[in-house]
Structure formats: C-alpha cells, structure tokens
Amino acid sequence: MSERAETFTLDRSHPGERLDAFLRKKYPAASRSAMQRLIEEGWITINGKPTKPTHTPRAGDVIAVVWPEARAAEARPEDIPLDIIFEDDALLVLNKPAGLVVHPAAGNEEHTLVNALLHHCRGELSGIGGVARPGIVHRLDKETSGCLVVAKNDETHIALSAQFAGRTVEKVYLAIVCGVMPRDEGNIRAAITRHPSHRKRMAVSDGGNARAAHTGYRVIERLRETTLVEALLHTGRTHQIRVHFQHLGYPVAGDLTYGQRQTKRLAELTKYEAPRVLLHAHKLAFIHPCSGKKMNFTAPWPEDFGDALKFLRR
C-alpha cells in the first residue's frame, strides 16, 4: 500500500480536546496510540508545521494527515482454521470460537485471530495507522463466541468503523445468566468506566469519566436457576453485557470476573459447571461499504452453549 494524504481546515475550535483524541473521532478505524505515533513521527502537521498530540484544535487550523505505507505486521501468519460465514473482496464475517484471542498481546503473542487472518488473507491487509494488519474493526472477548466482521482494505475498514462509531451496526447476543429473571424484557442504561482498583475490570459508575452505555434485553427462556436472554447492544463499551447484567444482579454464567459467587452457587444448586463465559454474538447486521446493501449474519451457537441449555432444561 502506498502513502495517502489528505488536508482539511477546521471551521471551529475544540477547546478542552487534544489533537490525538479529535483525530481518533474523525478516523475511528485508527487507534488513539496510532494517531499519537503518527503525530510524533511528523506524519500529521498543523499549518505545515510539526505538532504535538496535546495540541488543542483551533478554528482555521489546516491539518494535513499522511497515512504512511504500511510496515510489515509483527505477528506471524499461522494456519489456524477459520469458520467463515461470508467472504468477498472487501470483508469477511467469522464465527469466532470461544477461547480464541483476537489480538496478540503480552501472554498471547501467538495462536490469535490476527495470526490466522495474516495467513488467510495473504497480503490483503488493512494498513490503518501504518502497520499492515487484518482490519479488526471490533473485538470479542476471548471467551465470547460468535459473529465478527473483518475488513480487508483501508476503505472498508474506515467505512465499517464509522458505522460502529455511529451505532448503526446491529449487534445481538445470547447469554445464559445466573438466576431467573422476573421481567420479560427491559433496558439497562448505566454508564461504564474502568474499575477504580481492578484495572482489568470495568464497572458501572456515575463519575465524570464514565461513558454512556445502553443494553436492551428480552427473556427467551427461563431455565433451572438461570435464564436464556437475548441482548441488543446499543453502545459498544468494553465488557458491556457482562457488566450490565452483573449490575442487574444476574451475571453471565461462567463469568469468574463479574459473577464468580453466583457461578459457584449455580454449580452447587444444579451440578452444572460452566466451562466459560456463556456469551455468544448471535447476529450482526451492517451496510456493505461497497454495495450499499444491508447484510445480515447469524452465527449458530457452539456445542458448549447448546450443552448448557440441554443440561439446564432438565
């Protein structure tokens, strides 16, 4: 991929906002750390001069953004089987298995979805932010199974990221939660932020740093000491479904981060021991960036999810 450049002029100031945060909103496909790196390396300038990530965007600023040629990805391709629901020249939709990490990270440098995609795509990689990589537009937690869309090129990546940021993508999950929920349906509107003392956890909060979060749900089936629910994500915060159902008092079965006590109690009452967080991304719908048509996808639940339902229906 060769370098791409674009220039635009701000029509208003953005007091109290950093340049890197402003550009992250304008280009949702790129991470904030990627924007910071591009600014620090001089690929992004203000009025023809180098700038800093902390610069406050002002009316009249002429911002030039150069997307450099993508460097080779650091992750190595691996021949890992993929359950592909749909694929064309622009994107693919996967049914991600539970247990597969999406991105390489400390402790999970290999055997991730990115490693598998580097092998499968064979050069058809998004280069947003200057590093060649498969276009991971959104993520699923390691233990969550189901629908996940991947962009094969920058244009598709940017278009899909804009749909996710604009909350026009339909995301429907299935979850088996601890306890028998009395209401047939409802909405959970509770802001979420990083937990103040457990940095790998999220929490409901009304503090200034919390971000608005909205989950709609309906009960599909009441089981032994549990409930099968369908959850509709109106926002996409980290661990949103898991945090919201814990907030209601019905954490997802098998969730040892947000519902360890209830999961243990479930095993005592029913003799069923959940093998993982019983959460599945069941349906995904979005507008195809090339054809303009609405695409609807469904991922059948995996065997362990079906086994849980059979056991808890007894």
Q: Which residues are catalytic?
A: 141
Gyration radius (Cα) of the chain, Å: 21
Interacting residues of 207 by C-beta distance below 8 A, sequence separation 6+? 191, 193
Torsion angles phi and psi, residue 304, rounded to 5: -65, -30
Query: Given the structure tokens 């009304």, which residue do they identify?
Result: 206
- Compute the distance between CA of residue 177 and CA of residue 238 in angstroms, rounded to an integer: 18
Q: Which two tokens stand for residue 286?
A: 């979005």
User: Which residues neighbour 36 within 8 Å (Cβ) at sequence distance 6 or greater?
Assistant: 20, 53
Tokens 């996409």 appear where?
A: 236
Contact predicate 76/98, CB 8 Å: no
Evaluated on CA atoms 175, 176, 179, 180, the torsion sign reads positive
